[in-house]
Structure 1
């Protein structure tokens, strides 16, 4: 796990920007704290910051060039099947000078070009420069676990793991106002777009090739959509197959030349990963976060049960709200593109403390999207199935609209969910997915923008982006299409972005066994009834491991975690809101948002019924803080 950056110039004007390569590379030092090097040749340059995981010797340093001096690679990630691939290459006469997976990837690319991608089991973003051809190849893994940003103009192609490296090249910081409106709706910006017009995200399962002035981008992987074709005879067989695939995935991800552990939240997903890892690791290191001041969200009791059952070396980081607040501005300072999933703060702190004990951690991310683990999945299922609950929710819509709603207490959260269910039941598949996936309706997000910003956020462009996101949802289509859309949208743009950015801020590599492509493809071969029914979400995951996990983990609500934003905004953050980031005069001078609408949100915040206004304000605070630090100049 590392940070990479590079440049491929088309002319002398573009070549001038290679002087920024070393500065860009240095911005990635927290991703790769061990070593940093750069390579230049003609019109091309590659930079690499290393977090040593496999072959910690200098033999694994990058950029890495083949013995003939033709090919040079920079690589961020891990190839978990590199040993098998290495054996195949050895049989073909390839000589190796290190025990790193980077060298295996380099030689595999030399022999198979883009075809090497189909043989890789891992997560990655990498670039290979061919000095003889003067060509560049960059690629991203199937699921989008590792990030890759790029900028292309008439003079050059730039790429990097993080936006802060792109800043070092002096990219134009012209806001993409359609992306801004999307951010206000989602709390993140869906790929391939970013907050800047001139910077894009390479989509998962895509590569870009450059030779001279010829630039091509291509999709090399999409998840097969073969619902109801699991290749097993029945549900019991499917459970067994899932167990086998997931254990193999976990075992692959235990390879490491540095200390390794696992996150253990106390939920089903992380508990399954720990159970499987414990079969192959004595006294596995596990890590949990507890919330002293927020008992509704504290799940350490369940994490401790799992840790005792599997005899792990367990550590609980028990946090107060003061601990959370203490790290808030460190997190915001590191965030180089607007990203307002408030649970990122917990991941930031967990990663920071975990890194003091291990360099690699396994996590249970991805299971919710693959196997229907969110409350919105239950809502979608109920609407499709119909019945009394759905009809009551629709009929009582005026009541839900009138009652107080909040994510921070059980009753208010239930009212919020019922209101959303009632709204969704009146919509078709595409509009319902959009409603469930966004925090703020498009009309409200647009209203928050100033008149000039609305003009720049072209509605035709926004409609095109929406259509692309929703393209896999058909009228009367399979429930799996809802999950497939989550895997394309929510998983890479929210969940995986959060984990990568917050963990790499501390030089911690996080591995996600549920997102091994063999598990993903199996998940999308399963019929709906294997994943969710009227009683269970993530049904097959729960049932496949029911005999192994503590019984207390079952039949309990999924809490997730909510940072106490409302309390902070009314207290510690009040001055920052009123006198700085959202001050009326500053908002007016900035010209991005409508001062009257911002003022209305602030008034609601301090009213007797704030509902979830703090969630909308959090997005504004994150953007304003980011804008002052990264974009204002």
Structure 2
């Protein structure tokens, strides 16, 4: 839109990591196409494994809460570079939630059962059974996620909203704020970089809430947004399969990344905390690249990140006795 309005010298930015095995580490091929189409000043940053490794503690330390998504590191390292050029950027956060872009929306809409049953089959990256394998028995209690989600759905009991309308409203009011926006904001503000999210304009949100959610998920999701995008971009670019942002060293865990996670989970702090099932830790360390979540997150990385977050944000900030 800025390019169409003849705004000159538009900067665009993308970041990439090393490719490991068949796990591609960047999307430069696609970002180059967009930059060329709109004649932007495109800045590409290739982050080597040493830079990523050296910043792991900084990334985790800046998290207001544990954030297992691989792209937190990408946002942190990208913001570090972008902040040297400008202090405000635009981000596309919120598009998937508003326009129905996630693949699980259509899957859960076609599922059978109660609202919660349809939701839980396809929404949770890791379910309650997985949680029970991860945590020591004395910490296993009620399935609080189930209670929480059922309470969200109950707010719409007296409405004529469809199941999918309810789901997108839950995501717009809960997920956007507590996950993608918080993740991006905490990582970019680490470098004094302000991120603005045009898709979260309240008038746009209000309008899209009036549009049928069932129509949004046509043709693999974001039907309306893709229809607009095809006026400006090649069809192949717009219709390519949605993919999570790749940070291969945090998915295919080897070398010093494995050593980092092993040391975190074998530390006296982790052992004394005694929250995690030690048998499960040993299993993940023995087979670091055989245990992935539904969304292809590495379970060893998830666990190591959580423990390291405890160490950096709780253990290191405990008041000392006089």
TM-score range, shorter chain: 0.7 to 0.9
**Structure 1 pair 426/562, CA: closer, same or farther in 2 (3 Å)?**
farther
CA drift of 1:439 comes to: 1.9
Partner of 2:5: 279
**Structure 1 pair 537/346, CA: closer, same or farther in 2 (3 Å)?**
same
Match of 2:122 among 420, 433, 436: 436
Counterpart contact for 2:99–2:216, Cα < 8 Å: yes
- TM-score normalised by length of structure 2: 0.84
CA drift of 1:276 comes to: 4.2
Partner of 2:94: 366
More helix by share: 2
Partner of 1:594: 277
What is the rounded CA distance, in whole Å, between the counterparts of 1:431 and 1:531 in structure 2? Answer: 22
What is the rounded CA distance, in whole Å, between the counterparts of 1:277 and 1:371 in structure 2? Answer: 23
Partner of 1:304: 32
Q: Secondary structure at the match of 1:439?
A: coil
Per-residue CA deviation, residues 235-286 of structure 1 (Å, 9 max, x unaligned), is xxxxxxxxxxxxxxxxxxxxxxxxxxxxxxxxxxxxxxxx346526222111
CA drift of 1:514 comes to: 0.6
Q: Which sections of structure 2, spanning at least 5 residues, go unmatched? A: none
1:459 aligns with 2:121: no
What is the rounded CA distance, in whole Å, between the counterparts of 2:49 and 2:106 in structure 1? Answer: 31
Per-residue CA deviation, residues 287-331 of structure 1 (Å, 9 max, x unaligned), is 112345267353222222222222222211123344433322221
Counterpart contact for 1:292–1:320, Cα < 8 Å: yes
- TM-score normalised by length of structure 1: 0.45
| Map 1:16-95 → 2, pairs under 5 A | none
Which has the higher relative contact order, 1 or 2, with Cα contacts under 8 A spaced 6 or more apart?
Answer: 2
Q: Secondary structure at the match of 2:55?
A: helix
What is the rounded CA distance, in whole Å, between the counterparts of 1:286 and 1:443 in structure 2? Answer: 42
Match of 1:523 among 204, 208, 214: 208
**Structure 1 pair 309/441, CA: closer, same or farther in 2 (3 Å)?**
same
Per-residue CA deviation, residues 329-353 of structure 1 (Å, 9 max, x unaligned), is 2212222422222211111111111
CA drift of 1:428 comes to: 3.4
Q: Which sections of structure 1, spanning at least 5 residues, go unmatched? A: 1-274, 384-424
Per-residue CA deviation, residues 448-497 of structure 1 (Å, 9 max, x unaligned), is 2223323xxx5276554333344356699342222112212321111011
**Structure 1 pair 527/545, CA: closer, same or farther in 2 (3 Å)?**
same
Match of 1:616 among 286, 293, 299: 299
Please provide the CA RMSD for this pair.
2.8
Partner of 2:164: 479
Q: Secondary structure at the match of 1:596?
A: helix
Partner of 1:557: 241
Match of 1:289 among 15, 21, 26: 15
Counterpart contact for 1:473–1:482, Cα < 8 Å: no
Partner of 1:376: 104
**Structure 1 pair 536/626, CA: closer, same or farther in 2 (3 Å)?**
closer
Counterpart contact for 1:297–1:559, Cα < 8 Å: no
Query: Which segment drifts farther, 583-592 or 514-523?
Result: 583-592
Partner of 1:449: 135
What is the rounded CA distance, in whole Å, between the counterparts of 2:16 and 2:268 in structure 1? Answer: 40
Larger Rg: 1
What is the rounded CA distance, in whole Å, between the counterparts of 2:118 and 2:72 in structure 1? Answer: 26
**Structure 1 pair 502/617, CA: closer, same or farther in 2 (3 Å)?**
same
Partner of 2:309: 626
Per-residue CA deviation, residues 587-621 of structure 1 (Å, 9 max, x unaligned), is 44222222223223333426xx4444963222221
Partner of 2:264: 581
**Structure 1 pair 297/577, CA: closer, same or farther in 2 (3 Å)?**
closer
What is the rounded CA distance, in whole Å, between the counterparts of 2:185 and 2:204 in structure 1? Answer: 20
| Map 1:63-142 → 2, pairs under 5 A | none
The alignment of Structure 1 onto Structure 2 pairs a total of residues equal to: 309
**Structure 1 pair 543/511, CA: closer, same or farther in 2 (3 Å)?**
same
Counterpart contact for 1:605–1:614, Cα < 8 Å: no
